[in-house]
């Protein structure tokens, strides 16, 4: 099968057909199919090492050593577990890095305002706290006005309180921007608090795919929330 | 006898805890002598001792001129202009050699660091040549370039090329792959990655190389100027040797030291300016 990532206008935000990725003859992703609607918030769960990051990197066009067909939006943004800011650039320059034309300070300030970081526009990344750095990375993603936002465990390095705030922020900006989101997480409650749809990856495929039809903001005490939570935990092999 | 065993465990007697009182470091620093005073005390003591040994006749002028004689000689050399012209000649040689070496090292290290082909072609010979002591090349340089300025400048150039090359090449190769990946997701092409990620991340290592290179530059110059020259600090020193003029020799050594310090200060200034983004540790 020919490799390569093709791009065209489709009604889907993401369309994956028969995707396979091997590392030294071991297929981590095997014949995987996945569609994501525009504007849909999808959470991807799965045991550690099952290939979630591998899938996300393929969708981010960081890995083309694949077979199968992958269609993704031209405008994408990625948030990693670590903020990955350039330490030698002031925060605002990090935010607009890679945008065409001269670095536009106003655009950076607007994006940083959105994530509550206006007071940190002119500092070096080294002085940011973990939560602030992750918010700067989110601003950097949003300023690109992506049609698809790929997030790989973006909250997992944050402390519990900061994580709740950051989670709320992602919810908020997603509602405002309306981009499709693929959030990789290992936290079932986080997935159910944010997503329209949850996926569980298993044996190199999407092994479980279910909608989350709960009113927003999500209520943890809702019996339906509890039921989905129990079902997902069972799927993940936690009883 | 009345206390229960549980109570005794929960409340140990105060004397059982070994405590330390933590005082503010800034406050403690404030009431000590300023650092520049501490730094100047030991050199002053050494010079005073040297003067004393000369005055009582333990050190003779033929062995080592006294500090006071050295100062007078320096003043005399300044008055007749020989000091200035020697310094200018030597500084120009170092700057020219540094310029040549800098261009060579940056071009070679960038090619070797950024391109696999460049690495194959450039890095292996550089690693081999690096082991040749530069000073050993002087006879060849004289045969090839005569005894004018060229061999001295090339000697300095060669001496700085290797430390600059090694550090810049290492810096480029040590770039954090996760930042390169982030840059790719931001839409930066190869050129943008070089400009915004690879070169800035190699800068600290490059400046370490520059600092080291300046040291080797002066060393190479001393050799170049004492072996074959008609001007410059090294020449003055060599001439003085014939007359046992230890005062002039000491003046020249002091000049080398001062110029070396100035060069180091310039690099430190560059580091402060270019590396302020780094979470630096400045020492206690
Ligand atoms: N570059 C690589 N080379 C070899 N094996 C890899 C590479 N990247 C990932 N893998 C393997 O692929 C599997 C899935 O990894 P990953 O996608 O990171 O899992 P996770 O679901 O925890 O994000 C793991 O077994 C990992 O060892
Ligand atoms: Mg992962």
Give me the tens of pLDDT residue by residue for chain A, a chain 239 residues long. Answer: 444 555 455 689 999 999 999 999 999 999 999 999 999 999 999 999 999 999 999 999 999 999 999 999 999 999 999 999 999 999 999 999 999 999 999 999 999 999 999 999 999 999 999 999 999 999 999 999 999 999 999 999 899 999 999 999 999 999 999 999 999 999 999 999 999 999 999 999 999 999 999 998 899 999 999 999 999 999 998 76
Q: What is the pTM of this model?
A: 0.84
Note whether residue B206 is domain-resident: yes
CA–CA separation, B37 vs A14, rounded Å?
68
Nearest alpha carbon, ligand 1 atom 17: A51
Q: Which two tokens stand for residue A145?
A: 């006005």
Q: Is any ligand 1 atom within 6 A of the Cβ of residue A28?
A: yes
Ligand 2 midpoint to CA A48 (Å): 7
| Helix (H), strand (E) counts: chain B | 14, 0
| Residue B79 structural domain | 67-274
Residue A135: CA count within 13 A, CB half-sphere: 27
The one-character DSSP state at B34 is P
User: Which residue's entry shows tokens 């040749």?
Assistant: B132
Domain with CATH 3.40.50.300 in chain A: 1-75+146-239
Domain CATH for B261: 1.10.3720.10
Total count of domains within chain B:
1
pLDDT of residue B284: 44
Nearest alpha carbon, ligand 1 atom 6: A23
Question: Least CA distance to A96: which residue of chain B?
Answer: B186
Residue A87 at interface with chain B, using a CB cutoff of 8 Å = yes
- CB A49 near ligand 1, within 6 Å: yes
Distance from CA of A3 to the nearest CA of B (A): 20
CATH number of this structure's domain A1-75+146-239, picked from the four choices 3.40.50.1220, 2.40.160.60, 3.40.50.300, 3.20.20.120: 3.40.50.300
Q: Chain A residues with CB inside 8 Å of B280's CB?
A: none
Classify residue B165: in a domain, yes or no. yes
Helix (H), strand (E) at residue B55: helix B35-55
**Adjacency order of strands within the sheet including A14-23:** A26-36, A14-23, A67-71
């Amino acid at each position: 099968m020919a490799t390569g990532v093709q791009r065209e206008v489709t009604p889907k935000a993401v369309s994956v057909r028969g995707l396979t990725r091997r590392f030294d003859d071991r297929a981590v992703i095997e014949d995987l199919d996945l569609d994501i609607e525009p504007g849909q918030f999808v959470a991807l769960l799965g045991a550690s090492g099952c290939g979630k990051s591998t899938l996300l990197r393929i969708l981010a066009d960081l890995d083309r050593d694949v077979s199968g067909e992958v269609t993704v939006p031209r405008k994408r943004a990625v948030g990693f577990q670590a903020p990955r800011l350039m330490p030698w650039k002031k925060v605002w320059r990090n935010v607009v890095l890679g945008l065409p034309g001269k670095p536009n300070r106003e655009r950076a300030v607007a994006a940083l305002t959105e994530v509550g970081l206006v007071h940190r526009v002119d500092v070096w990344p080294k002085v940011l706290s973990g939560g602030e750095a992750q918010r700067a990375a989110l601003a950097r993603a949003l300023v690109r006005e992506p049609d698809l936002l790929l997030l790989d465990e973006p909250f997992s390095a944050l402390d519990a309180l900061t994580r709740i705030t950051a989670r709320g922020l992602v919810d908020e900006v997603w509602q405002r921007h309306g981009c499709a989101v693929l959030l990789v997480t290992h936290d079932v409650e986080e997935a159910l608090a944010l997503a329209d749809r949850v996926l569980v990856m298993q044996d190199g495929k999407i092994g479980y795919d279910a909608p989350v039809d709960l009113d927003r903001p999500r209520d943890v005490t809702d019996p339906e929330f509890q039921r989905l939570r129990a079902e997902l935990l069972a799927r993940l092999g936690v009883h | 006898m009345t206390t229960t065993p549980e109570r005794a465990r929960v409340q140990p007697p105060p004397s059982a805890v070994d405590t330390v009182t933590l005082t503010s470091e800034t406050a403690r620093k404030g009431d000590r002598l300023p650092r520049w005073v501490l730094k100047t005390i030991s050199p002053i003591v050494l010079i005073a001792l040297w003067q004393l040994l000369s005055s009582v006749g333990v050190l003779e002028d033929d062995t080592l001129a006294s500090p006071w004689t050295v100062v007078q000689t320096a003043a005399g050399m300044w008055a007749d202009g020989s000091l200035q012209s020697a310094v200018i000649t030597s500084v120009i040689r170092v700057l020219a050699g540094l310029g040549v070496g800098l261009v060579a090292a940056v071009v070679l290290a960038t090619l070797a660091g950024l391109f696999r082909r460049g690495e194959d072609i450039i890095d292996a010979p550089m690693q081999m040549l690096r082991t040749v002591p530069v000073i050993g090349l002087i006879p060849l340089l004289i045969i090839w370039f005569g005894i004018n300025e060229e061999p001295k400048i090339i000697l300095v150039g060669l001496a700085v090329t290797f430390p600059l090359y090694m550090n810049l090449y290492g810096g480029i190769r040590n770039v954090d792959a996760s930042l390169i990946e982030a840059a790719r997701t931001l839409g930066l092409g190869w050129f943008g990655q070089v400009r915004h990620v690879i070169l800035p991340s190699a800068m600290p290592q490059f400046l370490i190389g520059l600092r080291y290179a300046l040291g080797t530059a002066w060393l190479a110059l001393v050799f170049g100027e004492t072996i074959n020259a008609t001007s410059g600090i090294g020449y003055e020193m060599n001439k003085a040797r014939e007359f046992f003029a230890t005062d002039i020799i000491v003046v020249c050594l002091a000049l080398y030291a001062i110029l070396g310090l100035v060069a180091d200060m310039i690099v430190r200034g560059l580091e402060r300016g270019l590396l302020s983004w780094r979470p630096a540790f400045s020492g206690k």
